[in-house]
Copies of this chain bind each other. A is one copy, B any other.
Amino acid sequence: GGGGVDSLDYEVIENYAYREEQAHRGKLYVGYYVAVKWFFSLLIGIGTGLAAVFINLSVENFAGWKFALTFAIIQKSYFAGFIVYLVINLVLVFSSAYIITQFAPAAAGSGIPEIKGYLNGIDIPGTLLFRTLIGKIFGSIGSVGGGLALGKEGPLVHTGACIASLLGQGGSTKYHFNSRWPQLFKSDRDRRDLVTCGCAAGVAAAFRAPVGGVLFALEEVTSWWRSQLMWRVFFTSAIVAVVVRTAMGWCKSGICGHFGGGGFIIWDVSDGQDDYYFKELLPMAVIGVIGGLLGALFNQLTLYMTSWRRNSLHKKGNRVKIYEACIISCITSAISFGLPLLRKCSPCPESVPDSGIECPRPPGMYGNYVNPLGELYDFPDIFPAFLRQPLQFFCKTDNEYNDLATIFFNTQDDAIRNLFSAKTMREFSAQSLLTFLAMFYTLAVVTFGTAVPAGQFVPGIMIGSTYGRLVGMFVVRFYKKLNIEEGTYALLGAASFLGGSMRMTVSLCVIMVEITNNLKLLPLIMLVLLISKAVGDAFNEGLYEVQARLKGIPLLESRPKYHLRQMVAKEACQSQKVISLPRVIRVADVASILRSNKHNGFPVIDHTRSGETLVIGLVLRSHLLVLLQSKVDFQHSPLPCDPSARPIRHSFSEFAKPVSSKGLCIEDIHLTSDDLEMYIDLAPFLNPSPYVVSEDMSLTKVYNLFRQLGLRHLFVVPRPSRVIGLITRKDLLIEE
């Protein structure tokens, strides 16, 4: 696997330039460095928060106007209303697909597998570019606003990561803010920390769940962890929370149009059921099992869809991708508009006193932005008068409501709010819920993998809460006397589906609690997640792992494969003929070696005076390319020079590779025949102490070493002939 993707270098390359730089750094520098790191965390938080506010504001306004207009027009003609609805959706989806295909192909999908790969040590070209950021933001406004069965949460994680990475390098690779800015965070290692912060910030912004963000970054995305980083990631999430809250407070006055009515909690269910009886645990376990099954099925179906798309459909070019998105948009519009029409309206139940719920709900109740009644007065006077009259949707009499429209013909956020709602017993008929489940599940599978930014969180919550509510209805019917809320079951269903598909645990649990503001449900959510994850794991891997594999992202999982136990290090590199370089090498030889293979690291071998060979380090292809291009280190003599006598010609940051791009390439470098005859001494530029393992270490141990330290290269060497010393805990605790 992994054609075309390169690894990142998380190792600190302690070459001459690095050591020079270290020697010149005082304690003051360390303080400055730490201060800048925190400042960057602040900026990432602010940036991601603002991006989230912008996306939400745009989506809610587009969707709000769309529903308002449609509601108004169907008073006169259903057909005209449908056409308007369809066209608006189509335009939004088209613009999204157009942006993605023409401008930012790396912004398609959720981006989480790519970010996961990045933090696992693989650099997928294009993932963290400026154009990807732009494509992600505007693309997801189009695709979510256009009513497709996808969410904006996954893309926000990618957005956060892009913002972090771009900040770290001082703008896009083309237009830097200035040349000194990026000096600090040029290494892959520092950038990794920033991207981790960005990723947590994305979740924090998407779900307004700061703790969930930290845990998501920790559990799902990063492959390694340092507790110092936790603190900074937490800070970033806190900043996001403050930024989003401030923006929402600011929008409450109405200046942001349809956006801003909601609070910091997305779907407040705190007035629902918050205790449980032991006999309820059985139906809850059933929800967990259903979640595991449907989630695993979802992963499998999307796997087939995506590989089919890759292998046949998307090979035909961008035009086909755009057509595909547009067709799916039309189908989605037709289903969400048409199905409620086919469904007969139900009479309103007797109103429950002091629940505060009216039937039929006044249009304002559809959520904070789909408010045809309220919005009417927003239409300027030039609009026809019928737009300014109260509306009745789909039903003939005043005392009826359409349960399918309540969830289908609505933005996803409002649909979820309706499904989660408490004290609305029997609002939905089983038939409607089943229809919706089947339809929406199919739509979600089909939509997955189109060339638009697409998250799976909100669709997953939709699917899960539908069958959760269905189970809840049966429970209400069978366990008559208990104080059961269908909305609570819907919430558990949502958790179970996400658990069954994405296989997250702690972070998902915390996110669910944070978005619904009901801590008392925590043990129940835990239980459901445990079951759904276990059931799902019996069938396949989690959604992101499946997708990463499909995209050729060679993730190193945290646990080594079973068969590695029986192998030793030597066997993993049995067929290799190691290509190594001498300390002083002709430029022509370097060029030909670099041309003849694609390896990214080469051992450097020196000879002692007594004629023995000695491995003095590892030199990276990218560093060799920098040396060949700059040419200042070429020398005429084939003899090594004393590194301490020569001036330093490179600063450490010159060797850094730009993020998410191929970097230099041997074909780009022009060498004259004079150049080719010269020599270069590699000693100052190599990594003098790469990690080594002896030839018969078992591969499990090698794997753990490689993965825990985030390595890129590891030398397998013969057993040593003697031990110079033993390092134990005591030796590392020496005081200054």
Contact = CB atoms under 8 A, between A and B. Distances in A.
A235 B530 contact: yes
Contact of A506 (B234, B264, B566, B706): B234
Given A235-B530, A689-B698, A692-B692, A580 B734 contact: no
Contact of A706 (B215, B218, B732): B732
A97 B714 CA distance: 55
A438 B720 CA distance: 63
Contacts of A242: 523, 527
A692 B509 CA distance: 41
Given A562-B27, A688-B696, A709-B708, A578 B510 contact: no
Interface string A481-525: 000000000000000000000000110011001100101101100
Interface string A288-312: 0000000000000000000000000
A451 B686 CA distance: 57
B580 A723 contact: yes
Contact of A721 (B562, B614, B697, B716): B614
Contacts of A558: 226-228
Nearest to A689: B697
Interface in A693-713: 693-709, 712-713
B572 A734 contact: yes
Nearest to A14: B698
Given A573-B725, A734-B572, A709 B720 contact: no
A282 interface: no
A569 interface: yes
B725 A574 contact: yes
B729 A722 contact: no
A726 B708 contact: no
A506 B217 CA distance: 13
Q: Point out which of A238, A560, A580, A601 has the most chain B C-beta atoms below 10 A from its C-beta.
A: A238
Q: Give the interface size class of chain A.
A: 35 or more
Q: Point out which of A228, A526, A707 has the most chain B C-beta atoms below 10 A from its C-beta.
A: A526
A653 to B, nearest CB: 18
Contacts of A720: 614-615, 692, 715, 717-718, 720
A519 B570 contact: no
A8 to B, nearest CB: 10
Given A238-B530, A709-B705, A726-B601, A573 B513 contact: no
Contact of A714 (B245, B564, B707, B727): B727
Interface string A45-89: 000000000000000000000000000000000000000000000
A596 interface: no
A7 B558 CA distance: 25
Interface in A615-634: 615-616
A734 to B, nearest CB: 7
A689 B694 contact: yes
Interface string A626-644: 0000000000000000000
A350 interface: no
Nearest to A606: B719
A358 to B, nearest CB: 26
A342 interface: no
A320 interface: no
A667 interface: no
A556 B729 CA distance: 8
Given A227-B558, A720-B715, A729-B556, A238 B526 contact: yes
A578 B238 contact: no
A523 to B, nearest CB: 4
Contacts of A600: 728
Contacts of A527: 238, 242
Nearest to A518: B519
A28 interface: no
Q: Point out which of A231, A558, A616 has the most chain B C-beta atoms below 10 A from its C-beta.
A: A231
A564 B12 CA distance: 14
A319 interface: no
Contacts of A520: 264-265, 517
Contacts of A570: 724-725
A715 to B, nearest CB: 5
Given A210-B523, A573-B724, A719 B614 contact: yes
B704 A709 contact: yes
A127 B726 CA distance: 28
Contacts of A728: 7, 600-601, 712-714
A178 interface: no
Contacts of A572: 725, 727, 731-732, 734
A1 interface: yes
Contact of A519 (B215, B513, B533, B561): B513
A517 B727 CA distance: 48
A729 B578 contact: no
Contacts of A12: 700-701
A724 B732 contact: no
A253 interface: no
Given A603-B723, A698-B689, A556 B732 contact: yes
Interface string A267-297: 0001000000000000000000000000000
B1 A733 contact: yes
Given A1-B733, A211-B506, A523-B242, A726 B576 contact: yes
A324 interface: no
Contacts of A530: 235, 238
19 contacts: A12-B700, A12-B701, A218-B218, A225-B225, A228-B558, A237-B526, A554-B733, A569-B725, A572-B725, A573-B725, A578-B726, A580-B723, A601-B726, A605-B723, A615-B722, A689-B694, A706-B729, A707-B732, A717-B722
Given A603-B726, A615-B721, 20 more contacts: A7-B729, A237-B526, A238-B527, A241-B526, A242-B523, A556-B733, A561-B736, A569-B725, A570-B725, A573-B731, A688-B696, A689-B694, A689-B697, A689-B698, A692-B692, A706-B729, A706-B732, A709-B709, A715-B725, A720-B720
Interface of A: 1-2, 7, 12, 14, 22, 27, 30, 121-122, 210-211, 214-215, 218-219, 225-228, 230-231, 234-235, 237-238, 241-242, 245, 264-265, 270, 505-506, 509-510, 513-514, 517, 519-520, 522-523, 526-527, 530, 533, 554, 556, 558-566, 569-570, 572-574, 576, 578, 580, 599-601, 603, 605, 612-616, 688-689, 691-709, 712-734, 736
| 7 closest Cβ pairs, A-B complex | A573-B725, A689-B697, A717-B720, A238-B526, A714-B727, A716-B725, A603-B723
